Amino acid sequence: MNLNDVKDNLKSQGYKLTNQRKAILDVLMDHKGHVLSAEEIYEKTKERYAKTNVSTIYRNLEILENANLIHRINMNGEASKYKLICNDKHHHHIICKECGKSQSIDFCPLQDIHDEFKDEDFVLTDHRFELYGYCKECIKKKNEQV
Ligand SMILES: [Zn+2]
Ligand SMILES: [Zn+2]
Ligand SMILES: [Zn+2]
């Protein structure tokens, strides 16, 4: 999805494209290969739109998540991180624990489980699954430090 698609999509769902939302989307687009914390999004959005405040950042992130335009990714024991959705098909990510760099995995390793659950007492509706590791650059940096 490019930025215009995201903006059109938001408008088509009845949301106004406020200056702050525009600024947040610009920030997310600039970092589309990385996950960012709400704090980082706040700092970077403020550079573009000075009237930004923290509580509206959280509110807008919630709206964008409900509109299916951003991913909210739970990092182990850390605050959630966010990124623009990569594409509208079901997919997963591998994320660098050091710098937040992320790549999409367009294949679902859990599809078999969904198939197997068809006749069970549960209706399986969705799942979350992310892979964590270190990107090449971060491994290089780590090795140089030693
Ligand atoms: Zn994605
Ligand atoms: Zn990294
Ligand atoms: Zn899946």
Taking the centre of ligand 1 as the mean of its atom positions, its distance from the CA of residue 118, in whole angstroms, is 26
Structure tokens at 52: 């930004």
Query: What's the pLDDT at 126?
Result: 87
Taking the centre of ligand 1 as the mean of its atom positions, its distance from the CA of residue 131, in whole angstroms, is 12
Structure tokens at 61: 């992130």
Q: Please say whether the beta carbons of 89 and 104 come within 8 A.
A: no
User: What domains are there in the chain, each with its CATH number?
Assistant: 3-145 (1.10.10.10)
Query: What's the pLDDT at 111?
Result: 86
Q: Please say whether the beta carbons of 34 and 104 come within 8 A.
A: no
138 is in an annotated binding site: yes
Per-residue pLDDT of the chain (146 residues; tens, 9 = 90+): 788 999 999 999 999 999 999 999 999 999 999 999 999 999 999 999 999 999 999 999 999 999 999 999 987 778 899 999 998 889 999 999 999 999 999 989 898 888 888 777 888 888 988 999 999 999 999 999 87
Find the Cα–Cα–Cα–Cα dihedral 116, 108, 40, 57, rounded to 10°.
-60
Name every residue whose Cβ is closer than 8 Å to that of residue 104 and which is 6 or more positions away in sequence: 86, 87, 91, 92, 93
